[in-house]
Amino acid sequence: MLPWDWDIDTQVSGETLSYMAQNLNSTIHTHNAVDDSSVSRDYLLDVNPYAWERTRGDGMNIIDARWIDTRNGLYIDITGLSETEPDKEPGIWSCKNFHFYRTRDLYPMRESVYEGVPAMIPYAYDKILLEEYHEKALVLTEYEGHYWNQESRLWVKKSEPVAKQMARPPKNYAR
């Protein structure tokens, strides 16, 4: 998670988005930490009624769904990826926010870990990041009042002492 950003942006296939809309919309899911902290959080899955529409339209409904933390209102944006023109552009996936990907760059997906939780990432994640943000984004070590601490592998606020950010406990979450 980037400390200067208010939310997390994720993408799912149009098929997964459709399943979420039909079967999981407006449901609350409880997430319990796996460590001894007894931390428990409730999240509301809110699917946009226009999620089935795979084109951008007027740009007012580009977020297809959100996981919303019911405690503080923070959220994870979810956008669907679909082959919107399979006859004209087979193997090109896109979302409503003008992000385009090739099937071979997405699949097979790779297993990874995000904030202590297992996650799937695109096969050619490095290529996708370079196309989206250019090489500069992969080598910058200072951004938005933060610096990248190679030892802790965290973005740290410039005014925050190294000892404080190194003392942060690792985040362990239940699946």
Q: What is the pLDDT of residue 174?
A: 42
Q: How many domains does the chain have?
A: 1
Strand 75-81 relative to strand 92-94, pairing? unpaired
61-107 pLDDT, tens digit per residue, is 899 999 999 999 999 999 999 999 999 999 999 999 999 999 999 99
Q: Output the 3-class SS for 63-90.
A: CCEEEEECCCCCEEEEEEEECCCCCCCC
Whether residue 136 is contained in a domain is answered as no
35-55 pLDDT, tens digit per residue, is 777 889 999 999 999 999 988
> How much of the chain, in percent, has pLDDT values that exceed 70?
90
Whether residue 163 is contained in a domain is answered as no
155 vs 47: which has the higher pLDDT: 47
Whether residue 172 is contained in a domain is answered as no
Whether residue 40 is contained in a domain is answered as yes
- Which helix (H) or strand (E) covers residue 14, if one does? helix 14-23
Whether residue 175 is contained in a domain is answered as no
Domain hosting 55: range is 8-124
> pTM for this one?
0.78
Whether residue 97 is contained in a domain is answered as yes
Whether residue 76 is contained in a domain is answered as yes
Whether residue 1 is contained in a domain is answered as no
